[in-house]
Amino acid sequence: MRRIILTTIATLCLAGTAMADPVLGTWKTQPGDDGAFGHIRVAKCGDAICGYIAKAFNSAGKQIESDTVGKRMIWAMQADGDSTYSGGKIWAPDRDKTYNSVMELNGSRLVVKGCFFGICRGQTWTRVSG
């Protein structure tokens, strides 16, 4: 009986770590006003979700060097269930501003919004890899 209980507990623990949050992966941003865009790597950071700029691209789609690569863009995001996330912050590199943020996952699209005093702006990102 003891062996069955220990096996069950071990299985549940492994299943929990294997079930990754569906938002994790790499996402392509929408182009900015200048046509440039980036790839954001979304990962677990402790018990929250965070995202870092993994790559930068010019308007022609060519990967470029940028001082924003490696910078944190999303942090402290919490999963609310039903594919929604809130409570986090997002840094907008084009304006060098930080906003309260919410996200909503819909298949291979991630709607990301940054809000300040009830005024929000956002983008729809597309999944690059999972």
Tokens coding 4: 């069955």
**Is the pTM of the predicted complex or chain greater than 0.85?**
no
Of 113 and 17, the structure prediction assigns the larger pLDDT to: 113
One-letter amino acid identity for 98?
T
For 72, what's the count of Cα atoms within 13 Å in the CB-facing half-sphere?
13
Q: Considering the chain, what is the average pLDDT of its residues?
A: 86
Cβ 35 vs Cβ 58: under 8 Å: yes
pLDDT at 86: 96
What is the domain extent for residue 48? 21-129
Residue 122 falls within a domain, yes or no? Answer: yes
What is the per-residue pLDDT across 46-100, written as a single tens digit (0 to 9) for each?
A: 999 999 999 999 999 999 999 999 999 999 999 998 899 999 999 998 889 999 9
Label residue 19 by pLDDT band (50, 70, 90): low
> The CATH number of the domain where 64 resides is what?
2.40.128.520
The answer to which of 4-13, 57-66, 121-130 has the lowest mean pLDDT is: 4-13
Q: Where are the beta strands (DSSP E) in the chain?
A: 25-28, 37-45, 48-57, 63-64, 72-81, 84-92, 97-106, 109-116, 119-129
Residue 8 falls within a domain, yes or no? Answer: no
Residue 58 falls within a domain, yes or no? Answer: yes
Residue 32 falls within a domain, yes or no? Answer: yes
- Sequence length of the chain is 130
pLDDT over 90, % of the chain: 70
Residue 30 falls within a domain, yes or no? Answer: yes
pLDDT at 91: 94
Domain count, the chain: 1
